[in-house]
Amino acid sequence: MTHIPVDSTMLAAVGFDPVTGNLEAVFNDGAIWQYQNVPVKVYEELMASDSKGGYMRDFIIDVYPDYRVRRLP
């Protein structure tokens, strides 16, 4: 999955697969989490948001099934 760098105090990059609805969030602490069954509209709204961290907290984290993929070194 290709990750797109974002300007955020919480996130370093975001990746999205529109076929599966899997969204990967690379957090600034190096943790990578995947959120499942995320609608394309939610991804688009995240990427258009002025506060990507706020959007993640309000509309993605604890809303969609998630798991930790890995942690970057």
Q: Is 14 within 8 Å of 6 (Cβ atoms)?
A: yes
> What is the pLDDT at residue 71?
74
Is 70 a residue whose pLDDT tops 90?
A: no
Query: What is the 3-state secondary structure of 37-61?
Result: CCCHHHHHHHHHCCCHHHHHHHHCC
Higher pLDDT among residues 59 and 1, named by residue: 59
Q: Is 66 within 8 Å of 36 (Cβ atoms)?
A: yes
Cα separation, 43 vs 23, in Å, equals: 8
pTM as predicted: 0.91
User: Which sequence spans correspond to the domains of the chain?
Assistant: 3-71
pLDDT digits (tens, 9 = 90+) for 13-46: 999 999 999 999 999 999 999 999 999 999 999 9
Band of residue 1 on the pLDDT scale cut at 50, 70, 90 = confident
